[in-house]
Structure 1
């Protein structure tokens, strides 16, 4: 950056950008307690964790994400004339749908604590495309002015630098305000315990799920004979591929199978608790990830609402705030904002939904067209009329009644 640029405070893309995260080793799972608890290790060993990450990303990508414009009368309308509306709702870029891009960003946010997408704008500074980037290929630097600059390392070609206005940055809970921490990094101890239980279960499965036994002989064996007998038994009868084979012993040998110990039963219970801890770490109800031991008809419906209110609601707010900061200019924020439509996830069955519509219609909160729009049906003529109950009219008010058209029966031929 030249002298004139430094005096004027003009930013440039040149210069080396260094990753300014002092907790890089912790994010990558290098060293310390729980060093083997990385994103790939957690997803490949813990089915509940893999389902939690998939459920959060898929559900957030499936709900509607719209760009709204505030109207003069205090209402709002969809700003479908803005290019950003199509980027968030239809196509993020020519190669990715909006669903795929949003799923990628939320998954990156859960696994690494950060989600990045390169912003493409037109001459009017409106967003025309979003190109998601692998989070581990992006480095962040805080400039002297307090603004951020991003260095993107590519598999092919030289790395390039993007300014703050050219990058959509979703971050999780952060220690330094620059990089976010993933759920896996924050809860490495709990996930490490669950992975230890998984490794123990895998070892038992590799031994054909057989408990240890006692092999006794009439005569006393030497040390070499002990080792030879143990190696022979493990070679012939240990492993899932050798389960069910006929065991033949001579020399007065007697095999006694050890009974299932209380410690083994406690281990099975601890595995169930570990699965519940994994779901709790990601903020998801147990029934939503397939843990149905304590599920009933009533609490399943309540946990479905808790999924939206406690897990997806805060996540949606984090994404909306980041998009408001990165995708909209200072002028456009005065009239435009981004919002998820989480009401589609809170709708009950058909009977409960239409009962709520009936109450809204009778109290004057909804019109017929309001209800039809919620059900994705086209509006009808004269369907924007709101009714008011007669007992809600102020005292002394004269209600005008309109004469209804009278249809006389057709004359007999």
Structure 2
């Protein structure tokens, strides 16, 4: 430690977060933890890549990230009447059209959300021109490190060494940061559940690979001699059996000799429990991602009557927190302190609410009739512009809109 470092530590001057450098082999537990993977109690190592080999995990990551990317996001300007689109703001194209020359805004949201679901965070660099955000470019997972200043609590970011270059420090306003809940990826939190799903999948594959599970049994009441002749007899029977029923000859008549009998093997209760365990692991993975099981095509408890409500719960309980994270991240890096009082980013979720459009329309109609909200407030909730005369609290069923006067007919002279 240098004299300057000792004096700084003694008087509390210029304190900076310290980094402990450790050397460890790549097959150690520390290395597995560094890259977000490692062995589990069930056996398999689960990491961001290997977890995606489980269909339920792949579907969960895909449906959350793709829906986040497919929903349009816009920049709005606050007005006295509510809000209006601010398509003249430089940030509008970054959130609604293209994040950079080669990546659309929706594609970047899809990528960073998938990064957060698998690695715990998604990062993008905010490239500025004349103080305004010009483009957003994605950082690959593992290339940035979050550091918290111990004195102020302010976060900043360090990039790893690339081709011998030293680390670069980034201000928090220069990095678009999309965190998972608690900065811990669901893939990491549910490692044991995912590992058990891998074990069950592997067991099923090995069980049925090449017909490994016997469908029937050949037996006889007398004992086969434990000598070379007896061994050869068993081999000849197996060889003849395979030749007789290979190449699609399963319907040929069965002829047994030597006192052998045929017995069909049925599925046991253990086989049924195995299927239930595989289904339960889908539910466990769904819980980890906060997603309704039917969105992972686990439909054992879904009915036509509750499927619509499950879709609404997906928006409110699963997707909405991710949309809020994106809106907060956009507002933090795309606008300065003064602009945040006037501009904000917001997703248009009408596409996801169309399945429940009848219920929404009925709810708005009742609220307007009860004078709880005005027609323009209902239109604002549906991302529609205000209409003239729509700011009055009136019941349209009691005070209908007056009819327009009939057009005046022009008199024609008599011929």
TM range (shorter): 0.7 to 0.9
- Residue 300 of structure 2: which of 289, 293, 297 is its match? 293
Partner of 2:134, secondary structure, is: strand
Structure 2 residues not aligned, in runs of 5+ = 23-28
Task: Give the equivalent residue in structure 1 for 2:205.
Answer: 202
Partner of 1:259, secondary structure, is: coil
Task: Give the equivalent residue in structure 2 for 1:54.
Answer: 62
CA deviations 1:55-86 (Å, max 9, x no partner) are 00011111122233334x38333332221221
2:40 and 2:46 in contact (8 A); partners too: no
Task: Give the equivalent residue in structure 2 for 1:309.
Answer: 316
Task: Give the equivalent residue in structure 1 for 2:50.
Answer: 41
- Residue 88 of structure 2: which of 75, 81, 84 is its match? 81
**For the structure 1 residues 140 and 343, does the alpha-carbon distance in structure 2 shift closer, same or farther, using more than 3 Å as the test?**
same
1:140 and 1:151 in contact (8 A); partners too: no
Task: Give the equivalent residue in structure 2 for 1:177.
Answer: none
Q: Across the two proteins, how many residue pairs are aligned to each other?
A: 382
Q: TM-score, normalised on structure 1? A: 0.75
- Residue 66 of structure 1: which of 61, 74, 77 is its match? 74
- Residue 129 of structure 1: which of 135, 140, 154 is its match? 135
Q: CA deviation at 1:163?
A: 0.7
CA deviations 1:66-120 (Å, max 9, x no partner) are 233334x383333322212210111000000011110001011101111011111
Whole-angstrom distance in 1 between the partners of 2:49 and 2:128: 34
- Residue 281 of structure 1: which of 271, 284, 288 is its match? 288
CA deviations 1:206-226 (Å, max 9, x no partner) are 142744654435442437766
Whole-angstrom distance in 2 between the partners of 1:61 and 1:181: 21
Q: CA deviation at 1:166?
A: 2.5
Name the stretch that deviates more: 89-98 or 195-204. Answer: 195-204
Task: Give the equivalent residue in structure 2 for 1:340.
Answer: 347
Q: Alpha carbon RMSD of aligned pairs, Å?
A: 4.3
Q: TM-score, normalised on structure 2? A: 0.75
Query: Does structure 1 residue 384 correspond to structure 2 residue 388?
Result: yes
1:68 and 1:339 in contact (8 A); partners too: yes
Structure 1 residues not aligned, in runs of 5+ = 175-179, 394-398
Task: Give the equivalent residue in structure 2 for 1:220.
Answer: 224
Q: CA deviation at 1:203?
A: 1.3
Whole-angstrom distance in 2 between the partners of 1:287 and 1:81: 41
2:144 and 2:157 in contact (8 A); partners too: no
Query: Does structure 1 residue 99 correspond to structure 2 residue 120?
Result: no
Whole-angstrom distance in 2 between the partners of 1:337 and 1:127: 14
- Residue 179 of structure 2: which of 171, 182, 198 is its match? 171
1:17 and 1:150 in contact (8 A); partners too: no
Partner of 2:306, secondary structure, is: helix
Task: Give the equivalent residue in structure 2 for 1:396.
Answer: none
Partner of 1:347, secondary structure, is: helix
Q: CA deviation at 1:356?
A: 5.0
Q: CA deviation at 1:162?
A: 4.2
Whole-angstrom distance in 2 between the partners of 1:244 and 1:141: 68
Whole-angstrom distance in 2 between the partners of 1:270 and 1:227: 41
Matching of residues 115-264 of structure 1 within 5 Å: 115-124=122-131, 126-142=132-148, 146=153, 147-152=155-160, 161-164=168-171, 165-174=173-182, 180-208=183-211, 210-211=213-214, 213-216=216-219, 218-222=222-226, 229=234, 233=238, 251-264=258-271
1:117 and 1:168 in contact (8 A); partners too: yes
**For the structure 1 residues 325 and 219, does the alpha-carbon distance in structure 2 shift closer, same or farther, using more than 3 Å as the test?**
same
1:109 and 1:172 in contact (8 A); partners too: yes
Task: Give the equivalent residue in structure 1 for 2:331.
Answer: 324
Task: Give the equivalent residue in structure 2 for 1:407.
Answer: 407
Whole-angstrom distance in 2 between the partners of 1:283 and 1:228: 59
**For the structure 1 residues 349 and 140, does the alpha-carbon distance in structure 2 shift closer, same or farther, using more than 3 Å as the test?**
closer
Q: CA deviation at 1:337?
A: 2.9
Whole-angstrom distance in 2 between the partners of 1:67 and 1:278: 35
Whole-angstrom distance in 2 between the partners of 1:390 and 1:358: 9
Q: CA deviation at 1:31?
A: 4.0
Q: CA deviation at 1:196?
A: 1.6
Partner of 1:30, secondary structure, is: coil
**For the structure 1 residues 348 and 173, does the alpha-carbon distance in structure 2 shift closer, same or farther, using more than 3 Å as the test?**
closer
1:106 and 1:115 in contact (8 A); partners too: yes
Task: Give the equivalent residue in structure 2 for 1:365.
Answer: 374
Partner of 1:135, secondary structure, is: coil
Whole-angstrom distance in 2 between the partners of 1:294 and 1:32: 30
